[in-house]
Amino acid sequence: MSAPSTGSPSQSTAEAIRSTRLVAILRGPDAEHLAAGAEALVDEGVRVLEFPIAGPEILSVVSTVAARLGSAAHIGAGTVRTVADARRALDAGANFLVAPSLSIPVIDYARQRDIAVVPGVFTPTEIDAATQAGAEVVKLFPASSHTPKFLRQLHAPLPDAGIMPTGTITRDDAHAWLNAGAVALGVGSDLTGDSLTTGDLTPLRAAARDWLLLVTASP
Ligand SMILES: O=C[C@H](O)COP(=O)(O)O
C-alpha cells in the first residue's frame, strides 16, 4: 500500500493528514520498540506518524523508519522548534515537521524545502498567523485546555484553517472534536498505551484498529 503521492511533497502530506484524519505520535525510550511500533501501525493502516525528537537517537529512529517504510507512510519529526531542528530532521529523512509552538522561520524554511509543517498554535491569532504563513494544518496544542466548542466557533472567522487538536486526545472525545470541524487528530498515549515501552504490540494494534474505525465513522 502506498501513501498518496498527488501534487508536491508538502501537499501530499497535508492531503494524507486530512484524508486519514489521524497522526500517530510515537514516544518511547527504546529505538527498536519505536521502529517496530511504527511498522505495526502502518501494517494496521495508519499512514501518518510523528516522532517527537527528544535527542539524536530519535533522529536515527526517523531515518530507520523512513528507510524501512518508504512510501507506505508519511514520517514526521515532532518538537521542531527552530530552523536548525528542522534541518536536522529533514537530513534524517523526515517527510514533514510538527512543532509545539509557532515559528514563522520554521514555516518559511519548510516551504522552501517543499515540506509540510504543522506548527503548534493555541489562540485565534496564532492559528491565523500560521495559516497565512502557509501551514495547511496547524496543531491546536494542548487541546485538553480547549473544547470542541472553541474549535467550532473558529470556523466562521477562520474558514481556511486546518486545525488538528493534539494533547491528551482519547477515543472518548475524538468524535466531538471531529464533529466540531477538526481536520485530523494528533494522538499519542491513547493509541500507543505502554506498547512502545514494553514491546508488546498487541494492544497498540488493537488501539490502531479502534482509531481507524472511529475516524472513518465520524462525520
Ligand atoms: O505533542 C503532543 C503530545 O505528545 C500528544 O501526546 P498525547 O496524546 O499522549 O497527549
Q: How far apart are CA 85 and CA 89, in angstroms?
A: 6
- How many domains does the chain divide into? 1
218 is a domain residue: no
CATH of the domain at 166: 3.20.20.70
Listed in sequence order, the residues at least 6 apart from 28 whose beta carbon sits closer than 8 Å to its beta carbon are 34, 37, 192, 196, 197
Q: How far apart are CA 131 and CA 158, in angstroms?
A: 9
For every one of its 219 residues, what pLDDT tens digit does the chain have, with 9 covering 90 and above? 344 445 799 899 999 999 999 999 999 989 999 999 999 999 999 999 999 998 888 999 999 999 999 899 999 999 999 999 999 999 999 999 999 999 999 999 999 999 999 999 999 999 999 999 999 999 999 999 999 999 999 998 999 999 999 999 999 999 999 999 999 999 999 999 999 999 999 999 999 999 999 999 877
Using the mean position of ligand 1's atoms as its centre, give its distance from the Cα of residue 7 in Å: 29
Q: With contact defined as beta carbons under 8 Å apart, do 73 and 100 qualify?
A: no
Listed in sequence order, the residues at least 6 apart from 52 whose beta carbon sits closer than 8 Å to its beta carbon are 25, 27, 58, 77, 78, 79, 98
Using the mean position of ligand 1's atoms as its centre, give its distance from the Cα of residue 142 in Å: 8
49 is a domain residue: yes
Q: Is residue 208 in contact with ligand 1, taking CB distance under 6 Å?
A: no
8 is a domain residue: no
- The DSSP output letter for 201 is -
Using the mean position of ligand 1's atoms as its centre, give its distance from the Cα of residue 188 in Å: 5
The domain of 186 spans 13-213
Q: How far apart are CA 4 and CA 111, in angstroms?
A: 19
Complex-level ipTM: 0.96
Question: What pLDDT was estimated at residue 6?
Answer: 54
* Residue 98 phi, psi (nearest 5): -130, 145
Locate the ligand 1 atom nearest the alpha carbon of residue 144 and give its number.
10
119 is a domain residue: yes
168 is a domain residue: yes
The alpha carbon of residue 106 and the mean position of all alpha carbons in its chain are separated, in whole angstroms, by 16
Locate the ligand 1 atom nearest the alpha carbon of residue 189 and give its number.
9
